Structure 1
């Protein structure tokens, strides 16, 4: 491949010193206008481009931001990344997108690589910091903003209102007569998963309903954990009439397994999801393309935009800037996977407790 032109090549072509060419191309220092124009014209002619790495080493700014996402195949992430890019690109920043696959090893390797490339900051989307090594690395690195998962309170954070979301789902199910409501959790290491599970208990109690441990199924946000939840449910003598899943993929797994066992959704079992990703995906099984999923829709692009704006503010103000936390409202999409419980499965609805103000 041809050699990339250097400042020395420009200087030789112009018959000027390297110092003069460097001042002209960087815009720093005095250079006669006639020489400056000659240098700029020559640089364009021979294809000289400023080295971004050299500029980053000189200025300690690379105009680039690393973005770590948990799973590049999950449809929730493109809109978040689009929001991040919309804001950062408008300010002259380039994003370097990395997929960690929920792997602590990949997470630390990619974060290390981004820091070595002198990125100005990091946006970590749905990342759990499970090892001391990654926490130490980030503590000594550039500013970070966390999205959807908050590994510790002392961090800049943007995410959906999980408390509002769980309340909306429980209110909907209880409102159409369900008193036997189960739940599929998310990954145990996820702060989002823990927050939603905690609020599930609070919301049930507000309706005078008890949390049945055997109706809370462990999950990891995958289709398979939804299928496994239905298998476990089928072995129970007393079963829930509705199950809330921690995300849409778990809900899809439930629907697939329930249908394979001859159960009708929602006639025999109501199902809800979280994220509203299946409505626009054309690569998922047919079972859900024929019926809409009742789920929580979160403002994915707005979350990405808020995270990018927060990082830019942090870069402008330095580490002394006050920590920020932005929680964005969500809404429920009531579709075809929820209905009143089967006849004979309802219980007299208890008096609803007054909802505490938040």
Structure 2
């Protein structure tokens, strides 16, 4: 009989069962009595070592990423790794491949006390589940976030960043500006779309519904969505793309269509990956301080593990618009 079996029978989470056994005062009387009744009924015996392990440190930190193949996360992970090593911790990595079930299974490492804390670089679990875990275990969100979640979070302001990227195209005289977004179920995609919309509305630039195409965060997706935009009767002259990888695909689609960047289509990306300085033309993009985001997230988590007070729950890091050749001030623009 496992703790998860007790939780299922009592219709509560494993974390609630754990609290009943280790810190019962934080659980309501009704829930506590229900869980204890099930424990008595099935004669559940928590493993002595596991209970003792609850008070020990493993000196291990778990970092959960949505997609390890994404170039974006390498610098974030390096920032985490450096602060962890400095403080005597090791980092283990969990790749969810954008699966909520995988993300949830990694969180069980907290319940089993196999790690001292978790940094989530993805946030697909529901808000209640994350808050429940964060009430018991050290937990930090980085890059992604959930509105109203009372968990330490490190990120940039994605809405203002996207607005800045779109306004750069507007400042160059573009009136037909499209947006290739990420999946709508990702909060960052919704925020960057909102920033694009704010810029367009704020400058009285007409937004065509056909100019907003949802992609899948890959080079191939950026290529395919750009092809759709170029097939329109009136294709855009400027495109703000959700991330640099998709923007690289978009640039290739423009070239394969016999057009040029930025002369025919100006393109702005997001993230400032190292590849953005290699692709031709070099990519104008929003620079996220990836290393600093990871380093700050690691610093906060280790403070929480040591039960130190943290000054605030939300850390908004500074972003920068990096202007390169993919927008070009001499691009042809149809007013």
Shared fold per TM-score greater than 0.5: yes
Aligned residue runs from structure 1 range 1-358, under 5 A = 57=53, 59-113=55-109, 115-129=111-125, 135=130, 138=133, 142-154=137-149, 155-279=151-275, 289-317=279-307, 324-340=313-329, 343=332, 345-347=333-335
Q: Is the 8 A contact 1:177 1:341 kept in 2?
A: no
Higher Rg: 1
Q: Is the 8 A contact 2:182 2:215 kept in 1?
A: yes
Q: Is the 8 A contact 2:104 2:125 kept in 1?
A: no
Q: Cα 1:280–1:173, aligned 2, differ >3 Å: closer, same or farther? A: closer
Partner Cα separation in structure 1 for residue 300 and residue 275 of structure 2: 29
Partner Cα separation in structure 1 for residue 197 and residue 99 of structure 2: 30
Partner Cα separation in structure 2 for residue 90 and residue 317 of structure 1: 18
Shift of 1:145: 0.7
Shift of 1:66: 0.7
Partner Cα separation in structure 2 for residue 73 and residue 262 of structure 1: 30
- Structure 1: tracts of 5 or more residues without a match: 1-52, 282-287, 348-358
3-state SS of 1:210 partner: coil
Q: Is the 8 A contact 1:104 1:130 kept in 2?
A: no
4+ residue runs of structure 1 moved beyond 3 angstroms?
53-56, 134-141, 320-323, 340-343
Shift of 1:162: 1.6
Q: Cα 1:314–1:140, aligned 2, differ >3 Å: closer, same or farther? A: closer
Superposed CA RMSD in Å reads: 2.7
Partner Cα separation in structure 2 for residue 146 and residue 194 of structure 1: 18
Question: C-alpha offsets along residues 91-113 of structure 1, whole Å, 9 cap, x if unaligned?
Answer: 22211111111122322222224
Partner Cα separation in structure 2 for residue 56 and residue 265 of structure 1: 62
Partner Cα separation in structure 1 for residue 97 and residue 54 of structure 2: 34
Q: Is the 8 A contact 1:128 1:149 kept in 2?
A: no
Question: C-alpha offsets along residues 84-137 of structure 1, whole Å, 9 cap, x if unaligned?
Answer: 1221222222111111111223222222245424311110013322698x6487
What is the TM-score normalised by the length of structure 1? 0.72
Shift of 1:79: 1.1
Aligned residue pairs, count: 286
3-state SS of 1:273 partner: strand
What is the TM-score normalised by the length of structure 2? 0.77
Partner Cα separation in structure 1 for residue 122 and residue 50 of structure 2: 32
